[in-house]
């Protein structure tokens, strides 16, 4: 009887130890950091494409050595039914993260948004590459949208003017967003930007919102000095009002497709020929923007300076700034002085 009692106590003790060990193990695999807990490890961004399997997820995590223990992650994924419910998305896996935290996040599809910022873009191809590459839909899909005449018409543009719909700013968007969803969001942001107050300012200047964008793109290319932008805009509006060619050097560069040109001369103007972007030969605004002007520049054009200037030229004494003039002869003298300074610096 005594031996039976000892055996029972032994079994009970062993069971207790086993229970404690099992509890500790369960605690470990659920609540102890398993992801990115090595010294110097950084947050990892996991991309899961539509149609991906749990094995695809494991392959990615294995490749980048994101976790310490694959078995425990797979075990909890099975217990919480994640293996059969993989959801696409972009997920940030922070340092010192547990299996439970990651599985719950992935299973719920709680994506982390992309912070999209774009500016200083001239061409649709450039926009497609820079922006499309950040999303699952890719550059080619976005390029097709921008070349789709019917789709552009849906938003009030054409394939020449569609870049005017994209207001340079910072946006939070999900990686799995479709190209259609992206276009809808950007159109919504465009409508938010063009408040009634801004539309009234455009109308007061005799311009449509699209024309403001085209003019702002020229101003954007002409000067980096914010303080000068309303003055430069005023010069171009004065020229438009008297049907004078805009004679904007940046439009010639755009017509030639060469943005490395440092100075425009008569030979280059002739090379640009009758391109609708050659504002030395064609009066009025070009048919589309030559870049994506910033919100600051758009607002500076809307609040352009009223003056009598018709001419301006870079100031050789103050790099980045311009000299404005109402008199053509005086302007020519200033322009000749600027050309001499370029020649002296061997800029052709």
What are the E-state strand segments in 130-182? 170-173
pLDDT (tens digit, 9 = 90+) per residue, 223-232?
A: 999 999 999 9
Residue 306 DSSP class = P
Contact 106, 97 (CB under 8 A): no
Annotation: CATH topology of 23-108: Dna Ligase; domain 1 (3.30.1490)
Q: Mean pLDDT of successive 10-residue segments in the chain (348 residues)?
A: 52 47 52 68 90 96 90 92 96 92 96 95 97 97 97 97 97 97 98 98 98 98 96 98 97 96 93 97 97 97 97 90 92 82 69
Q: Please state, in angstroms and rounded to a whole number, the distance separating the CA atoms of residues 298 and 304.
A: 10
Q: What is the pLDDT of residue 147?
A: 97
Q: What is the pLDDT of residue 95?
A: 86
Q: What is the pLDDT of residue 17?
A: 47
Q: What is the pLDDT of residue 332?
A: 86
Q: Could you tell me the residue ranges of all domains in the chain? A: 23-108, 114-193, 196-307
Q: Please state, in angstroms and rounded to a whole number, the distance separating the CA atoms of residues 38 and 159.
A: 50
Dig out the tokens for 121 from the structure: 């873009």
Exposure string of 338-348, with b = 16+ CB inside 10 Å and e = fewer, is bbeeeeeeeee
What are the E-state strand segments in the chain? 33-35, 44-48, 89-93, 97-98, 114-117, 170-173, 311-314, 322-325
């Amino acid at each position: 009887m005594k031996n039976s009692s000892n055996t029972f106590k032994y079994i009970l003790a062993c069971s207790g130890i086993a229970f404690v060990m099992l509890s500790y193990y369960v605690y470990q695999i659920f609540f102890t950091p398993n992801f990115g807990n090595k010294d110097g490890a950084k947050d990892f961004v996991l991309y899961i494409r539509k149609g991906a399997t749990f094995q695809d997820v494991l392959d990615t995590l294995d490749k980048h050595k994101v976790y310490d223990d694959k078995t425990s992650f797979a075990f909890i994924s099975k217990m919480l039914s994640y293996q059969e419910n993989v959801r696409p998305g972009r997920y940030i896996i922070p340092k010192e993260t547990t299996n439970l935290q990651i599985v719950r996040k992935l299973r719920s599809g709680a994506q982390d948004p992309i912070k999209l910022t774009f500016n200083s873009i001239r061409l649709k191809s450039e926009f497609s590459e820079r922006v499309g590459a950040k999303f699952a839909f890719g550059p080619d899909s976005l390029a097709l949208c921008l070349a789709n005449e019917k789709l552009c018409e849906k938003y009030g543009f054409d394939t020449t003017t569609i870049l005017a719909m994209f207001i340079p700013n910072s946006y939070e968007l999900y990686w799995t967003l479709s190209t259609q969803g992206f276009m809808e969001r950007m159109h919504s942001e465009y409508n938010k930007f063009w408040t009634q107050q801004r539309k009234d300012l455009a109308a007061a200047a005799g311009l449509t919102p699209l024309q403001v964008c085209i003019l702002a793109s020229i101003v954007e290319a002409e000067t980096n000095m914010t303080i000068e932008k309303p003055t430069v805009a005023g010069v171009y509006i004065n020229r438009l009002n008297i049907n004078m060619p805009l004679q904007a050097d940046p439009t010639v560069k755009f017509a030639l497709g060469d943005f490395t040109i440092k100075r425009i001369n008569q030979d280059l103007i002739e090379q640009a020929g009758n391109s609708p972007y050659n504002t030395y030969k064609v009066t009025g605004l070009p048919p589309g923007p030559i870049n994506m002007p910033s919100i600051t520049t758009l607002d500076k054009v809307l609040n352009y300076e009223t003056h009598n200037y018709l001419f301006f030229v870079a100031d050789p004494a103050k790099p980045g700034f311009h000299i404005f003039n109402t008199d053509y002869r005086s302007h020519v003298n200033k322009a000749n002085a600027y050309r001499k300074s370029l020649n002296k610096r061997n800029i052709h």
